[in-house]
Amino acid sequence: MPDLDLLPSDLPVVRTVADLRAQVRAWRAQGLTVGLTPTMGALHEGHLSLVRLARTRTDRVVASLFVNPTQFAPHEDFEAYPRDEAGDAALLASAGCHLLFAPGVEEMYPAGASTTVTVTGVTASMDGLARPSHFPGVATIVTKLLNQCAPDVAVFGEKDFQQLQVIRRLAADLDLPVEIMGAPIVRAADGLALSSRNAYLDTEQRAIAGRFNLILVEGLARLRRDVAVSDVEAWAVAELLTAGFDRVDYVEARTPADLGRLGPGPAQGPTRLLAAAHIGRTRLIDNMGD
Ligand code: PAF
Protein backbone atom coordinates (compact mmCIF):
# COMPACT_ATOMS: atom_id res chain seq x y z
CA MET A 1 0.00 0.00 0.00
CA PRO A 2 1.19 3.55 -0.64
CA ASP A 3 2.75 5.70 2.03
CA LEU A 4 -0.15 8.14 2.61
CA ASP A 5 0.28 11.23 4.75
CA LEU A 6 -2.73 13.25 5.87
CA LEU A 7 -2.65 17.01 5.51
CA PRO A 8 -4.53 19.10 8.13
CA SER A 9 -7.44 19.14 5.67
CA ASP A 10 -7.51 15.31 5.93
CA LEU A 11 -6.66 15.07 2.24
CA PRO A 12 -4.21 12.22 1.73
CA VAL A 13 -1.00 13.32 0.04
CA VAL A 14 1.68 11.30 -1.75
CA ARG A 15 5.00 12.76 -2.82
CA THR A 16 6.56 9.99 -4.89
CA VAL A 17 5.61 8.41 -8.19
CA ALA A 18 5.82 4.97 -6.54
CA ASP A 19 3.24 5.93 -3.90
CA LEU A 20 0.97 7.54 -6.48
CA ARG A 21 1.08 4.39 -8.61
CA ALA A 22 0.43 2.17 -5.57
CA GLN A 23 -2.71 4.14 -4.68
CA VAL A 24 -3.98 4.14 -8.27
CA ARG A 25 -3.30 0.38 -8.48
CA ALA A 26 -5.29 -0.17 -5.26
CA TRP A 27 -8.23 1.78 -6.68
CA ARG A 28 -8.07 -0.12 -9.96
CA ALA A 29 -8.07 -3.42 -8.05
CA GLN A 30 -11.45 -2.31 -6.62
CA GLY A 31 -12.73 -1.60 -10.14
CA LEU A 32 -12.65 2.18 -9.67
CA THR A 33 -11.91 4.70 -12.42
CA VAL A 34 -9.44 7.55 -11.92
CA GLY A 35 -9.38 11.20 -12.95
CA LEU A 36 -6.45 13.62 -12.86
CA THR A 37 -6.44 17.41 -12.57
CA PRO A 38 -2.88 18.73 -12.94
CA THR A 39 -2.27 22.10 -11.22
CA MET A 40 0.54 24.36 -10.12
CA GLY A 41 -1.30 25.29 -6.94
CA ALA A 42 -2.45 28.79 -5.87
CA LEU A 43 -5.86 27.28 -6.45
CA HIS A 44 -9.05 29.17 -7.14
CA GLU A 45 -12.58 28.32 -8.20
CA GLY A 46 -11.37 27.59 -11.74
CA HIS A 47 -9.18 24.73 -10.52
CA LEU A 48 -11.94 23.43 -8.26
CA SER A 49 -14.28 23.31 -11.25
CA LEU A 50 -11.78 20.92 -12.89
CA VAL A 51 -11.91 18.64 -9.85
CA ARG A 52 -15.70 18.73 -9.82
CA LEU A 53 -15.84 17.94 -13.54
CA ALA A 54 -13.43 15.02 -13.06
CA ARG A 55 -15.65 13.76 -10.25
CA THR A 56 -18.65 13.62 -12.59
CA ARG A 57 -16.69 11.26 -14.84
CA THR A 58 -14.55 9.13 -12.53
CA ASP A 59 -14.76 7.41 -9.13
CA ARG A 60 -11.53 8.83 -7.68
CA VAL A 61 -9.85 12.16 -8.45
CA VAL A 62 -6.16 12.92 -8.06
CA ALA A 63 -4.96 16.54 -8.13
CA SER A 64 -1.29 17.14 -8.77
CA LEU A 65 0.43 20.20 -7.32
CA PHE A 66 3.79 20.94 -8.90
CA VAL A 67 5.16 24.34 -9.87
CA ASN A 68 6.98 23.10 -12.94
CA PRO A 69 10.27 24.96 -13.38
CA THR A 70 10.76 23.93 -17.01
CA GLN A 71 7.73 25.88 -18.25
CA PHE A 72 9.04 29.19 -16.87
CA ALA A 73 11.68 31.20 -18.76
CA PRO A 74 14.53 32.56 -16.59
CA HIS A 75 12.96 36.07 -16.49
CA GLU A 76 9.49 34.75 -15.56
CA ASP A 77 7.83 34.36 -12.15
CA PHE A 78 8.87 30.82 -11.10
CA GLU A 79 10.36 31.93 -7.75
CA ALA A 80 7.53 34.38 -7.03
CA TYR A 81 4.75 31.98 -8.07
CA PRO A 82 2.36 31.79 -5.08
CA ARG A 83 2.73 28.59 -3.01
CA ASP A 84 0.31 27.50 -0.25
CA GLU A 85 0.08 23.71 -0.10
CA ALA A 86 -2.05 23.56 3.06
CA GLY A 87 -4.54 26.11 1.71
CA ASP A 88 -4.68 24.32 -1.64
CA ALA A 89 -5.24 20.96 0.06
CA ALA A 90 -8.17 22.35 2.06
CA LEU A 91 -9.76 23.70 -1.14
CA LEU A 92 -9.20 20.40 -2.97
CA ALA A 93 -10.74 18.45 -0.11
CA SER A 94 -13.78 20.75 -0.17
CA ALA A 95 -14.20 20.06 -3.91
CA GLY A 96 -14.20 16.31 -3.33
CA CYS A 97 -10.65 15.48 -4.43
CA HIS A 98 -9.44 12.11 -3.12
CA LEU A 99 -5.66 12.40 -3.30
CA LEU A 100 -3.03 15.11 -3.66
CA PHE A 101 0.15 14.26 -5.56
CA ALA A 102 2.70 16.89 -4.50
CA PRO A 103 6.16 15.81 -5.65
CA GLY A 104 9.38 17.77 -5.27
CA VAL A 105 11.54 18.88 -8.19
CA GLU A 106 13.99 15.96 -7.68
CA GLU A 107 11.13 13.46 -7.95
CA MET A 108 9.90 14.92 -11.24
CA TYR A 109 13.31 15.74 -12.72
CA PRO A 110 15.85 13.32 -11.22
CA ALA A 111 19.51 14.06 -11.92
CA GLY A 112 20.32 13.18 -15.51
CA ALA A 113 16.78 13.70 -16.86
CA SER A 114 17.30 14.80 -20.45
CA THR A 115 14.11 14.10 -22.41
CA THR A 116 11.81 16.87 -23.60
CA VAL A 117 8.44 16.41 -25.33
CA THR A 118 8.10 18.86 -28.20
CA VAL A 119 4.78 19.41 -29.95
CA THR A 120 4.89 21.22 -33.28
CA GLY A 121 2.03 22.82 -35.24
CA VAL A 122 -0.32 24.03 -32.48
CA THR A 123 2.66 25.56 -30.67
CA ALA A 124 3.84 27.56 -33.69
CA SER A 125 1.93 30.74 -32.81
CA MET A 126 0.78 32.95 -29.95
CA ASP A 127 2.19 31.71 -26.60
CA GLY A 128 4.51 29.39 -28.53
CA LEU A 129 6.17 32.49 -30.01
CA ALA A 130 5.84 34.79 -26.98
CA ARG A 131 7.18 32.12 -24.56
CA PRO A 132 9.36 29.76 -26.66
CA SER A 133 10.38 27.44 -23.80
CA HIS A 134 6.90 27.26 -22.28
CA PHE A 135 5.15 24.52 -24.25
CA PRO A 136 8.08 22.06 -24.27
CA GLY A 137 8.05 22.42 -20.46
CA VAL A 138 4.27 21.93 -20.27
CA ALA A 139 4.25 19.02 -22.75
CA THR A 140 7.05 17.25 -20.88
CA ILE A 141 5.53 17.57 -17.42
CA VAL A 142 2.01 16.70 -18.57
CA THR A 143 3.27 13.60 -20.42
CA LYS A 144 5.07 12.54 -17.23
CA LEU A 145 2.00 13.17 -15.04
CA LEU A 146 -0.22 11.20 -17.43
CA ASN A 147 2.27 8.30 -17.40
CA GLN A 148 2.72 8.43 -13.63
CA CYS A 149 -0.99 8.52 -12.74
CA ALA A 150 -2.37 6.68 -15.80
CA PRO A 151 -5.84 8.25 -15.34
CA ASP A 152 -8.91 7.42 -17.41
CA VAL A 153 -9.70 11.13 -17.77
CA ALA A 154 -7.54 14.24 -17.32
CA VAL A 155 -9.15 17.67 -17.07
CA PHE A 156 -7.55 20.98 -18.12
CA GLY A 157 -9.03 24.48 -18.15
CA GLU A 158 -9.99 26.21 -21.37
CA LYS A 159 -8.46 29.43 -20.06
CA ASP A 160 -5.16 28.02 -21.31
CA PHE A 161 -6.80 27.12 -24.60
CA GLN A 162 -3.59 26.72 -26.59
CA GLN A 163 -2.16 24.54 -23.80
CA LEU A 164 -5.31 22.38 -23.94
CA GLN A 165 -4.83 21.83 -27.69
CA VAL A 166 -1.14 21.04 -27.15
CA ILE A 167 -2.11 18.39 -24.58
CA ARG A 168 -4.81 16.92 -26.82
CA ARG A 169 -2.22 16.70 -29.61
CA LEU A 170 0.46 15.00 -27.52
CA ALA A 171 -2.02 12.51 -26.02
CA ALA A 172 -3.20 11.56 -29.52
CA ASP A 173 0.29 11.47 -31.04
CA LEU A 174 1.79 9.41 -28.21
CA ASP A 175 -1.21 7.02 -28.05
CA LEU A 176 -1.79 7.80 -24.39
CA PRO A 177 -4.87 5.88 -23.21
CA VAL A 178 -6.55 8.86 -21.56
CA GLU A 179 -9.46 11.13 -22.40
CA ILE A 180 -8.43 14.79 -22.31
CA MET A 181 -11.34 17.00 -21.24
CA GLY A 182 -11.54 20.78 -21.43
CA ALA A 183 -13.40 22.67 -18.70
CA PRO A 184 -15.09 26.03 -19.33
CA ILE A 185 -13.39 29.21 -18.06
CA VAL A 186 -14.58 30.37 -14.63
CA ARG A 187 -14.88 34.16 -14.46
CA ALA A 188 -15.14 36.78 -11.70
CA ALA A 189 -18.28 38.93 -11.45
CA ASP A 190 -16.87 41.45 -13.96
CA GLY A 191 -15.90 38.67 -16.36
CA LEU A 192 -12.16 38.53 -15.66
CA ALA A 193 -11.00 34.94 -16.17
CA LEU A 194 -9.86 33.52 -12.83
CA SER A 195 -6.09 33.02 -12.74
CA SER A 196 -3.52 32.48 -10.01
CA ARG A 197 -1.69 35.48 -11.49
CA ASN A 198 -4.64 37.83 -10.77
CA ALA A 199 -3.25 37.90 -7.21
CA TYR A 200 -0.37 40.03 -8.50
CA LEU A 201 -2.70 42.88 -9.54
CA ASP A 202 -3.16 45.99 -7.37
CA THR A 203 -6.56 47.70 -7.26
CA GLU A 204 -5.94 49.94 -10.25
CA GLN A 205 -4.51 47.09 -12.33
CA ARG A 206 -7.41 44.84 -11.35
CA ALA A 207 -9.84 47.44 -12.74
CA ILE A 208 -7.91 47.50 -16.03
CA ALA A 209 -7.85 43.69 -16.14
CA GLY A 210 -11.64 43.67 -15.91
CA ARG A 211 -11.76 45.28 -19.38
CA PHE A 212 -9.91 42.32 -20.99
CA ASN A 213 -12.89 40.01 -21.41
CA LEU A 214 -15.23 42.83 -22.48
CA ILE A 215 -12.89 43.70 -25.34
CA LEU A 216 -12.82 40.06 -26.42
CA VAL A 217 -16.63 39.86 -26.19
CA GLU A 218 -16.89 42.87 -28.51
CA GLY A 219 -14.15 41.50 -30.79
CA LEU A 220 -16.00 38.21 -31.12
CA ALA A 221 -19.24 40.07 -31.87
CA ARG A 222 -17.42 41.95 -34.66
CA LEU A 223 -16.12 38.68 -36.08
CA ARG A 224 -19.66 37.30 -36.05
CA ARG A 225 -20.78 40.41 -37.97
CA ASP A 226 -18.22 39.52 -40.67
CA VAL A 227 -15.80 42.33 -39.88
CA ALA A 228 -12.43 41.33 -41.37
CA VAL A 229 -10.27 39.28 -38.97
CA SER A 230 -7.25 41.57 -39.38
CA ASP A 231 -9.40 44.63 -38.55
CA VAL A 232 -10.86 42.97 -35.43
CA GLU A 233 -7.41 41.91 -34.20
CA ALA A 234 -5.97 45.41 -34.73
CA TRP A 235 -9.03 47.00 -33.08
CA ALA A 236 -8.73 44.75 -30.01
CA VAL A 237 -5.01 45.46 -29.59
CA ALA A 238 -5.71 49.21 -29.71
CA GLU A 239 -8.60 48.86 -27.23
CA LEU A 240 -6.44 46.91 -24.76
CA LEU A 241 -3.75 49.58 -24.86
CA THR A 242 -6.37 52.33 -24.46
CA ALA A 243 -7.85 50.43 -21.49
CA GLY A 244 -4.47 50.64 -19.73
CA PHE A 245 -2.65 47.43 -20.65
CA ASP A 246 1.06 48.17 -21.03
CA ARG A 247 1.80 45.66 -23.77
CA VAL A 248 -0.14 43.22 -25.93
CA ASP A 249 1.58 40.00 -27.02
CA TYR A 250 -1.20 39.04 -29.42
CA VAL A 251 -4.90 39.07 -30.22
CA GLU A 252 -5.62 36.38 -32.80
CA ALA A 253 -8.68 34.71 -34.28
CA ARG A 254 -7.94 31.03 -34.89
CA THR A 255 -9.70 27.79 -35.78
CA PRO A 256 -10.33 26.10 -32.40
CA ALA A 257 -9.23 22.54 -33.20
CA ASP A 258 -5.82 23.13 -34.78
CA LEU A 259 -5.33 26.85 -34.02
CA GLY A 260 -4.96 27.56 -37.74
CA ARG A 261 -4.83 31.16 -38.92
CA LEU A 262 -8.09 32.84 -39.99
CA GLY A 263 -8.53 35.85 -42.20
CA PRO A 264 -7.41 38.44 -43.10
CA GLY A 265 -11.00 38.66 -44.42
CA PRO A 266 -14.16 37.65 -42.54
CA ALA A 267 -13.82 34.50 -40.39
CA GLN A 268 -15.44 31.43 -41.94
CA GLY A 269 -16.56 28.60 -39.64
CA PRO A 270 -15.69 27.95 -36.00
CA THR A 271 -13.60 30.74 -34.49
CA ARG A 272 -11.75 31.24 -31.23
CA LEU A 273 -10.41 34.67 -30.30
CA LEU A 274 -7.29 34.40 -28.11
CA ALA A 275 -5.22 37.13 -26.47
CA ALA A 276 -2.31 37.78 -24.12
CA ALA A 277 -1.49 41.16 -22.62
CA HIS A 278 0.63 42.64 -19.82
CA ILE A 279 -0.28 45.00 -16.99
CA GLY A 280 2.91 46.01 -15.24
CA ARG A 281 4.77 42.75 -14.53
CA THR A 282 1.65 40.60 -14.81
CA ARG A 283 0.82 38.73 -18.01
CA LEU A 284 -2.83 37.76 -18.50
CA ILE A 285 -4.37 35.48 -21.12
CA ASP A 286 -7.98 34.97 -22.12
CA ASN A 287 -9.98 33.52 -24.99
CA MET A 288 -13.53 32.94 -26.13
CA GLY A 289 -15.52 31.62 -29.04
CA ASP A 290 -16.40 28.26 -30.53
O1 PAF B 1 -2.04 24.90 -16.44
C2 PAF B 1 -1.22 24.65 -15.54
O3 PAF B 1 -1.44 24.95 -14.37
C4 PAF B 1 0.10 23.99 -15.90
O5 PAF B 1 0.55 24.43 -17.13
C6 PAF B 1 0.04 22.46 -15.85
C7 PAF B 1 -0.94 21.90 -16.87
C8 PAF B 1 -0.38 22.00 -14.45
C9 PAF B 1 1.41 21.87 -16.15
O10 PAF B 1 2.37 22.30 -15.24
Q: What is the mean pLDDT of the chain?
A: 96
Claim to verify: residue 77 and residue 154 sit in the same structural domain: yes
Q: Please indicate, yes or no, whether the overall pTM of this predicted structure exceeds 0.85.
A: yes
pLDDT in the model for residue 15: 98
191 within a domain of the structure (yes/no)? no
Q: What is the mean pLDDT of residues 270-280?
A: 98
User: Looking at the structure, do residues 157 and 107 belong to the same domain, yes or no?
Assistant: yes
**Residue whose CA lies nearest to ligand 1 atom number 8:** 39
Instruction: Give the mean pLDDT of 178-202.
Output: 97
Same-domain pairing of 144 and 216:
no
41 CB less than 6 Å from ligand 1?
A: no
The answer to whether residues 60 and 119 belong to one domain is yes
Identify whether 188 is part of a domain: no
Pocket test for ligand 1, best of 44, 62, 71, 119 (most atoms within 8 A of CB): 71
Whether residue 37 sits in one domain with residue 147: yes
Tens of pLDDT, residues 120-178: 999 999 999 999 999 999 999 999 999 999 999 999 999 999 999 999 999 999 999 99
What pLDDT, in 10s, does the model give residues 72-117? 999 999 999 999 999 999 999 999 999 999 999 999 999 999 999 9
**Residue 2's pLDDT is what?**
66
Average pLDDT over residues 230-243: 98
Ramachandran region of residue 104, left (φ > 0), alpha (ψ -120 to 50) or beta? Answer: beta
**Which residue from 141, 169, 170, 195 has its CB within 8 A of the most atoms of ligand 1, so it is best to mutate?**
141
Domain end position, chosen among 135, 159, 183: 183
Looking at residue 109, its pLDDT comes to 98
> Is residue 39 within 6 Å of ligand 1 at its C-beta?
yes
| Residue 84 shares a structural domain with residue 47 | yes
In a domain, 63, yes or no: yes
| Tens digits of residue pLDDT in 18-43 | 999 999 999 999 999 999 999 999 99
Q: CATH number, domain at 256?
A: 3.30.1300.10
Mutate to test the pocket of ligand 1, among 43, 140, 160, 198 (most ligand atoms within 8 A of CB): 160
| Domain identity same for 131 and 271 | no
Distance from Cα 268 to the centre of ligand 1, integer Å: 31
Mean pLDDT of 57-84: 96
Domain boundary among 183, 213, 237: 183
Ligand 1 contact, 143 CB (< 6 A): no
The pLDDT of residue 4: 73
pLDDT confidence tier of residue 9, bands split at 50, 70 and 90: confident
Report which protein residue has its CA nearest ligand 1's atom 1. 39
**Res 263: pLDDT:** 86
Averaged over 246-268, what is the pLDDT? 96
- Tally of structural domains, the chain: 2
Tell me, yes or no, whether 60 and 179 share the same domain. yes
Judge whether 189 lies within some domain: no
Residues 156, 217: one domain?
no
Which is it for the CA torsion 17, 20, 23, 28, positive or negative? Answer: negative
The arithmetic mean of pLDDT across residues 63-79, rounded, is 96
Residue 5 banded pLDDT, cuts 50, 70, 90: confident
Give the pLDDT confidence score for residue 8 in this predicted structure. Answer: 64
For a pLDDT cut of 70, what percent of the chain falls above it? 98
Residue 64 Cα: closest atom of ligand 1? 8
Is residue 190 assigned to a domain? no
What is the distance in A from the centroid of ligand 1 to the CA of 182? 13
Domain boundary among 119, 149, 183: 183
Tell me the torsion sign for CA atoms 231, 237, 238, 239.
Answer: positive
Structure confidence at residue 82 (pLDDT): 93
Q: Are residues 122 and 263 in the same domain?
A: no
pLDDT category of residue 1 using cuts at 50, 70 and 90: low
Contact 195 CB / ligand 1 (< 6 Å):
no
CATH, residue 150: 3.40.50.620
Answer whether 70's CB lies under 8 Å from 87's CB.
no
Å from CA of 35 to ligand 1 middle: 16
Residues 170 and 258 in one domain: no
Residue 176 lies in a domain: yes
Catalytic residues: 47
* Same-domain check for residues 59 and 166: yes
158 Cβ partners below 8 Å, 6+ apart?
164, 182, 183, 184, 185, 287
Q: What percent of the chain has pLDDT over 90?
A: 96
Q: For ligand 1, say whether the CB of 141 is within 6 Å of any of its atoms.
A: yes
CA distance 197 to 221: 27
Residue 77's domain comprises 5-183
CA quadruple 254, 194, 105, 36: dihedral positive or negative?
negative
